[in-house]
Chain A
């Protein structure tokens, strides 16, 4: 399966990265990790890309890491559709101290606009 994993550095996106890499190692997915600029995350794009590199190396798989500039949600949907990806994987949102799940604006945009299947990792 051709998988596009979008990460911006939030905790839930890093969890999505780990799960997607682990799955790719078992299932032989053709994985592309898109490092996006999440305005709600303080994470540095360089550092996020490095995290992705390490995760891919640890899993011993071959995967592309791509820096994606511009509006994260629309860019992910566009890349997935133009390049024939089978699935977009994103972080599943933040959990408040109360335990309530809130999905962020990137996931919200992708869910409502993507013709490609979307997985939110919980």
Chain B
């Protein structure tokens, strides 16, 4: 049933976290892989509790703390890859890779306070660097077709449209060459 198409060649190498930089509003930001700590989880809950619901995509992040906690519990497990953009002790953004059959589904959220400062681009590249280092081969995502800024960011990174027939655009990226495929 899964007939998703992936680019034939693997994407460029991405630098894995930790990555430190100064954003376009002069804030010190550090991108780090999620360390599994309760503090990091609570900081994520705070970010998503304060998240503007108008930036929700296909139902996530869900609304209200109990639903946010349930959702985070499901994607902060050992088989998922999570990367966080930190500004001091505050979460500015979060990106995740969740296993789905032979591939991983990607999602990224940057809190409204930290948007349009170059954090999203660094965050997604950090997540892909983490995924590459972990040997992940295939990544896919869905994005609203009107969201031109996001679509062009994904294209710049190397994602190609894999399905354009639904409400949302589906895009795919090959992160590492598969040993079993030519």
Q: Do A99 and B96 touch across chains, with their CB atoms under 8 A apart? A: no
Q: Does A27 contact B (CB under 8 A)?
A: no
Q: Do A40 and B96 touch across chains, with their CB atoms under 8 A apart? A: no
Contact residue range for chain A?
A: 10 to 19
The residues of B that contact A102 with a CB separation of less than 8 Å are 58, 142, 166-168
Closest partner residue, chain A, to B100 (CB atom): A97
Q: Does B74 contact A (CB under 8 A)?
A: yes
Q: Do B100 and A101 touch across chains, with their CB atoms under 8 A apart? A: no
Contact residue range for chain B?
A: 20 to 34
Give Cα A101–Cα B60 distance, bound, in whole angstroms.
8
Q: Do A97 and B60 touch across chains, with their CB atoms under 8 A apart? A: no
Closest partner residue, chain B, to A107 (CB atom): B167
Identify which of A40, A102, A105 gathers the most chain B CB atoms within 10 Å of its CB: A102
Q: Does B99 contact A (CB under 8 A)?
A: yes
Give Cα A99–Cα B98 distance, bound, in whole angstroms.
10
Q: Do B1 and A100 touch across chains, with their CB atoms under 8 A apart? A: no
Per the 8 Å Cβ criterion, residues 91-134 of B in contact with A are: 96, 98-100, 105, 107
